[in-house]
Amino acid sequence: HSTTKPPPNPSPLRSAKFFQANMRILVTGGAGFIGSHLVDKLMENEKNEVIVVDNYFTGSKDNLRQWIGHPRFELIRHDVTEPLLIEVDQIYHLACPASPIFYKYNPVKTIKTNVIGTLNMLGLAKRVGARILLTSTSEVYGDPLVHPQDESYWGNVNPIGVRSCYDEGKRVAETLMFDYHRQHGIEIRIARIFNTYGPRMNIDDGRVVSNFIAQAIRDEPLTVQSPGTQTRSFCYVSDMVDGLIRLMQGNNTGPINIGNPGIVIPNCHRDDHNDVNTDLGFSHAGEFTMVELAENVKELINPKVEIISVENTPDDPRQRKPDITKAKELLGWEPKIKLREGLPLMEKDFRKRLGIHRTN
Ligand code: NAD
Ligand code: UDP
Ligand code: UDP
> Measured between alpha carbons, how far is 67 from 141 in angstroms, rounded to an integer?
36
Name which of 9-23, 104-118, 209-223, 309-323 the model is least confident about.
9-23
Query: What is the rounded distance in angstroms from the CA atom of residue 61 to the CA atom of residue 107?
Result: 24
Q: 193 CB less than 6 Å from ligand 1?
A: yes
**What is the enclosing helix (H) or strand (E) of 351?**
helix 339-354
Distance, in Å, from the CA atom of 346 to the CA atom of 207, rounded to the nearest integer, reads 14
pLDDT at 328: 97
Average pLDDT value for residue range 318-341: 94
CB 177 within 8 A of CB 114: no
Residue 199 exposure: Cα atoms within 13 Å on the Cβ side? 15
- Ligand 3 mean position, distance from CA 264 (Å): 24
CB 135 less than 6 A from any atom of ligand 1: yes
Task: Check: CB of residue 73 under 8 Å from CB of residue 43.
Answer: yes
Q: Give the nearest ligand 2 atom to 84 CA.
A: 7
pLDDT in the model for residue 285: 63
CA-CA distance, 61 to 187, in Å (whole number)?
30
* Mean pLDDT in residue range 188-197: 97
Span 290-315, mean pLDDT?
94
Question: What pLDDT score was predicted for residue 277?
Answer: 35
Mutate to test the pocket of ligand 1, among 36, 39, 94 (most ligand atoms within 8 A of CB): 94
For position 87, what pLDDT does the model report? 97
- ω into 100 cis (within 30 of 0): no
pLDDT at 360: 66
- Looking at the predicted structure, is the pLDDT value of residue 60 above 80? yes
pLDDT of residue 340: 85
Tell me the pairing of strands 287-289 and 196-197: unpaired
Supply the pLDDT for residue 314: 83
Give the span between the Cα atoms of 69 and 236, in whole angstroms: 28
Instruction: Kindly state if the Cβ of 127 falls inside 6 Å of ligand 2.
Output: yes
The reply to whether ligand 3 has any atom less than 6 angstroms from the CB of 232 is yes
Question: Band of the pLDDT at 295, cuts 50, 70, 90?
Answer: very high
| Res 257 pLDDT > 50 | yes
Strand, helix or coil at 196? strand
The CA 9 to ligand 1 mean position distance, Å, reads 45
- The pair phi, psi for residue 234, each rounded to 5°, is -115, 130
Task: Assess whether pLDDT exceeds 70 at residue 293.
Answer: yes
Q: Report the nearest atom of ligand 1 relative to the CA of 57.
A: 11
- pLDDT value, residue 279: 34
Neighbours of 180 (CB within 10 A): 21
Ligand 2 centroid – CA 124 distance (Å): 6
> Is pLDDT at 2 greater than 50 in this prediction?
no
Determine the average pLDDT of the residues in 170-187. Answer: 98
Return the minimum-mean-pLDDT range out of 12-26, 34-48, 125-139, 178-192. 12-26
Pairwise CA distance, residues 56 & 339, whole Å: 29
The pLDDT assigned to 280 comes to: 36
Q: Which residues are catalytically annotated?
A: 166
Q: Encode 248-269: b = buried (16+ Cβ within 10 Å), e = exposed.
A: beeeebbbbbbbbbbeeeeeee
Task: Indicate which ligand has the atom closest to the C-alpha of 209.
Answer: 3
In this prediction the pTM is 0.91
ipTM of the complex, rounded to two decimals: 0.97
Is residue 281 scored above 80 in pLDDT? Answer: no
**Residue 4 DSSP symbol:** P
Please provide the size of the chain in residues. Answer: 360
Give 320's DSSP letter: -
By the 8 A CB rule, do 208 and 312 touch? Answer: no
Q: Is the CB of 245 under 6 A from ligand 3?
A: no
- Ligand 1 contact, 58 CB (< 6 A): yes
pLDDT-above-90 percentage for the chain: 81
Residue with CA at minimum distance from ligand 1 atom 33: 98
Mutate to test the pocket of ligand 2, among 82, 124, 132 (most ligand atoms within 8 A of CB): 124
What pLDDT does residue 301 have?
95
Return the closest-CA partner of residue 240 out of 31, 29, 37. Answer: 37
Q: What is the CA radius of gyration of the chain?
A: 22
Q: Tell me whether strands 196-197 and 222-225 are parallel, antiparallel or unpaired.
A: unpaired
- Ligand 1 centroid to residue 180 C-alpha, Å: 22
Alpha carbon distance 49, 342 (integer Å): 29
Contact in structure between 170 and 97 (CB atoms under 8 Å): no
- Ligand 1 contact via 29 beta carbon (within 6 Å): yes
Taking 70 as the threshold, does the pLDDT of residue 19 lie above it? no
Report how far residue 215's alpha carbon sits from residue 203's, in angstroms, rounded to the nearest whole number: 10
Q: What are φ and ψ of residue 336, in 5° steps?
A: -110, -30
Ligand 1 within 6 A of CB of 54: yes
pLDDT tens, 72-108? 999 999 999 999 999 999 999 999 999 999 999 999 9
| Residue 80 CA: distances (Å) to CA of 53, 122, 192, 348 | 8, 11, 20, 33
* Of 156, 160, 117, residue with least CA distance to 139: 156
**Smallest CA separation from ligand 3 atom 18, residue:** 207
34-48, 160-174, 271-285, 330-344 — which is least confidently predicted?
Answer: 271-285
pLDDT in tens, 116-128: 999 999 999 999 9
Which residue has a Cα nearest atom 41 of ligand 1? 196
Give the number of other CB atoms < 10 A from CB of residue 108: 8
Cβ atoms of 241 and 315 closer than 8 Å: no
Q: How far apart are CA 35 and CA 260, in angstroms?
A: 19
Instruction: Please tell me the distance between residue 88's alpha carbon and the centre of ligand 1 in angstroms.
Output: 21
- Please name the helix (run of DSSP H) or strand (run of DSSP E) that holds residue 73, with its range, or none: strand 73-77
Check residue 15 and give its pLDDT.
47
